[in-house]
């Protein structure tokens, strides 16, 4: 199942820099492991914002929920999820 996910990060301004940097380092490692596994095939930064658009390829809604809530930055995010399916006019055969 494919999902389009927008993540807006809102780290509190009063969070100590060392704490924020440690969380960001864990976030990077977590997300890169998911990218390597194929569950997070695309991630794009939104210019001028602390936000991203991502595509997830997972087995179920529950798996996506588990992945998103496992993000170290999850407590500081606003997340919007849109389920996707293949468009009948697509010329590609490799889409889920």
Predicted TM-score (pTM) above 0.95: no
Q: Would you state the pLDDT for residue 95?
A: 60
Full residue range of the structural domain in which residue 38 is found? 2-84
Whether 77 and 7 have beta carbons less than 8 Å apart is answered as yes
What residue has token string 């969380």?
A: 23
- Supply the CATH number for residue 9's domain: 3.30.70.1060
- 10-43, pLDDT tens digit by residue? 999 999 999 999 999 999 999 999 999 999 999 9
Instruction: Give the dihedral sign, CA 63/89/6/82.
Output: negative
Residues 6+ apart with CB under 8 A from 10: 50, 76, 77, 78
HSE-up of residue 75 (Cα within 13 Å, Cβ side): 6
For residue 95, being part of any structural domain is answered with no
For residue 75, being part of any structural domain is answered with yes
């Amino acid at each position: 199942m494919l999902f389009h996910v927008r993540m807006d990060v809102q780290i509190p301004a009063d969070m100590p820099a060392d704490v924020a940097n440690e969380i960001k380092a864990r976030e990077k490692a977590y997300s890169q492991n998911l990218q390597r596994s194929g569950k997070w095939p695309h991630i794009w930064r939104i210019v001028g914002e602390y936000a991203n658009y991502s595509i997830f390829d997972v087995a179920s809604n529950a798996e996506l929920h588990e992945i998103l809530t496992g993000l170290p930055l999850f407590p500081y995010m606003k997340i919007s999820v849109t389920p996707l399916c293949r468009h009948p006019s697509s010329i590609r055969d490799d889409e889920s």
